[in-house]
Amino acid sequence: MQQNRHNDALSERASPSLVPSGTGVSPLNDLKVDLKTTRRRLRDERAGHKEAMKLVHDATFRSIQDGLIPIFEALESFSTDALKAFEGVQGYVMPSLIEGL
């Protein structure tokens, strides 16, 4: 029974009468105006959403760049220090090896 009421309500909205409303404008024309308004609002919302997504993307990109720069600088520093340490070890000869010669 509740389903029937729901279907009746849908059919009433889907098939408006062409009898003028109290304003002298037919319900069909009212629906066309509502449709135009809704489409305009949808277009505006989509444009706003697109702009918001662009701002989020740009902010994320800048954040990643700002976060990666110190990481790579630290990696460069570590690599330089490790290379210097390796060169120091490579030039070092253990005294026990010299005695064996």
**Mean pLDDT calculated for residue range 84-93:** 79
What phi and psi, each to the nearest 5 degrees, are found at residue 34? -60, -40
Q: Is the pLDDT of residue 2 over 80?
A: no
Residue 50 within a domain: yes
Other beta carbons less than 10 A from residue 30's beta carbon: 13
Asked whether the predicted pLDDT for residue 59 surpasses 90, the reply is yes
Position 65 confidence tier, pLDDT thresholds 50, 70, 90:
confident
When divided into structural domains, the chain yields a total of 1
Identify whether 61 is part of a domain: yes
The DSSP result for the chain, as a single string, is -HHHHHHHHHHHHHS---S--TTSS-HHHHHHHHHHHHHHHHHHHHHHHHHHHHHHHHHHHHHHHHHHHHHHHHHHHHHHHHHHHHHHHHH---HHHHHT-
pLDDT at res. 36: 92
What pLDDT band is residue 6 in, cutting at 50, 70 and 90? low
pLDDT confidence of residue 27: 80
Q: Please check whether residue 73 lies inside any domain of the structure.
A: yes
Q: What is the mean pLDDT of residues 49-70?
A: 93
Domain carrying residue 75? 25-93
Mean pLDDT of the residues in the chain: 78
